[in-house]
Amino acid sequence: MTLPADPTIPELREALAPLVADNAAFDGWKAAARDMAADTLGVDRDVALLALPDAATMIDAWFAYIDREMAAALPPEKLGPMKVREKITALVETRLDLLAAHRETLRRALAILAMPQNVANGAKLGWRAADAMWRAAGDTATDYNHYTKRAMLGAVYAATMTVFLDDESEGQADTRAFLARRIAGIMAFEKAKGQFLARTSHRPSLSRFIGRLRYPAI
């Protein structure tokens, strides 16, 4: 990314993120990694500190960078002809490809996010990744399906990352096979859920009945 003459803090954070990640494999998610990234961009180190004050912010910015790169690699016109299962698989595998050269950086990031004080932030970032993938896949659900889809994909993605970190197979073949099995499980669940809802959609609803007792139609 080429920085404008007078970048905003978000623009600076976006530009620094991948460079910090490159250095974090060796220096950890620490000031040294940020300072080296700032030097590479020709940015004052104190200004870089304002953009990325701590490890959690650095990791957040890097994960956001991965989200953007994933979306750029798989634009709507490329995903459009695919089935939902193919879209989700392609999106997760694209993330694996983006992370393949940065496994030590990812390992260090996940270790930090696993600390008690960072667990909530780690969950937020996992949810954001799942949401980015479903949105890229064209999902527009706003009911409870919005949440169940993201929760399931988030769990699958987290499990896949665990396998990925120690995968020595060529082209991460073991990780891709693991992912395929987990996504097959999601699709089977969604199909079963759809069939169940179709069978029960015309049955009397106790909650609607009680609601009508409380708020009768005028």
Q: Mean pLDDT for each 10-residue chunk of the chain (218 residues)?
A: 82 96 95 97 95 97 97 95 94 96 96 95 96 94 86 94 94 94 81 64 56 52
Query: Which among 160, 146, 159 is positioned nearest to 190, based on CA atoms?
Result: 146
Q: Which long-range contacts (CB under 8 A, 24 or more apart) does 119-123 make?
A: 121/56, 121/60
CA 123/CA 168 separation, integer angstroms = 27
Q: What is the pLDDT of residue 203?
A: 63
With helix as H, strand as E and coil as C, how does 31-59 read?
A: HHHHHHHHHHHCCCHHHHHHHCCCHHHHH
Q: What is the pLDDT of residue 198?
A: 63
Query: Which among 77, 68, 67, 84 is positioned nearest to 139, based on CA atoms?
Result: 84
CA 34 to chain centre: 23
Q: What is the pLDDT of residue 196?
A: 62
Hey, is 61 helix, strand or coil? helix
Buried b (16+ CB within 10 A) or exposed e, 57-91: bbbbbbbbbbbeebbeebeeeebeebebeebbbbb
Q: What is the pLDDT of residue 64?
A: 97
CA 119/CA 162 separation, integer angstroms = 16
**What letter does residue 101 receive in the DSSP assignment?**
G
Give the CB-side neighbour count of residue 54, counting CA atoms within 13 A: 4
Q: What is the pLDDT of residue 218?
A: 47
Structure tokens at 156: 């699958």
Structure tokens at 57: 């912010």
Give the CB-side neighbour count of residue 6, counting CA atoms within 13 A: 0
